[in-house]
Homo-oligomer: A and B are copies of this chain.
Amino acid sequence: MFQLLDIIGTIAFAMSGALTAMNKKMDPFGVFIIAFVTAVGGGTLRDVLIGRTPVGWMLDLKYVYVIAAGFILAVIFRKKFDRLRTSLFLFDTIGLGVFTLIGLEKGINIGLHPVICIALGTMTACFGGVIRDILCNEIPVIFRKEIYATICILGGVMFFLLRELSFDNDILYLATSLVIISVRLMAVKFKWYLPTLENK
C-alpha cells in the first residue's frame, strides 16, 4: 500500500516537473532532468544531509523507471493538461503526504530530535519543487503561494503528538497522511494562504 502510494507520488512529482519545464520551452533532456530532480530532489537532499549515501534512487532502479514513465505520460498528454489538472493535483497531494512520512521515518530511524525529523519530512516533500523552480529560474513557488510546506509541518507535529499517546504505527501513518491530504484539499478549495510579509 505504502509502496504504491510512494510510486503514485513519484509519478505525480515527475509530471509536475515535466510540465513546468515544458512551459519554459526546454528540450526533452531538460524536461527529463527537471522531472527527475522534482521527483527525487527532496529525498536526495535529505539523504545527503544525514549521510545516507549512495542516495536512495541510486540503489533502487524503480525510481528511474517510474520517473521515465511520468515523463513520457507528461509529454504525450501535454496538450491536455487542463483536463488532467484535477487528477494531477490529487496525485501530487498524495505524494506530499507520503513523502513527508518517509522523511519523518528516516529521521526517527537515526535517532534525531522530533523538530529535526519534521524538518526532514518537510524537506523530502517540498525540496524537489524548490530545486525545480531554481533550475527554471523562478523564485520557488512554495515560498510565495499556497500553504504547502506549512501543511507538512502540521502533519509532522501531529505525528509526534499521536506518537506520544503511543498509538500504533499503522494508525500514526494513516492519520498523518489523511490530515496532510485533507488539509491540502481544503486549503486549495477554500483558498487559504499565508499573508506575505513585507518590509516596505
CA–CA, A27 and B136, complex, Å: 21
Q: A25 near B58 (CB under 8 angstroms)?
A: no
Q: Is A3 located at the chain interface by the 8 A CB criterion?
A: no
Closest-CB distance, A110 to chain B (whole angstroms): 7
Q: Which residues of B contact A58 (CB under 8 A)?
A: 49-50, 112, 116, 119
Copies of this protein chain in the complex: 3
If A55-B49, A130-B135, A135-B134 touch, whether A29 touches B197 (CB-CB below 8 Å) is: no
CA–CA, A110 and B134, complex, Å: 31
CA–CA, A139 and B30, complex, Å: 10
CA–CA, A49 and B55, complex, Å: 6
Q: A54 near B54 (CB under 8 angstroms)?
A: no
Chain A residues close to B by CB (< 8 Å): 19, 21-31, 33-34, 44, 48-51, 53-55, 58-59, 61, 64, 75, 78-79, 81, 110, 112-113, 115-116, 119, 130, 134-140, 142-145, 147, 149-150, 193-200
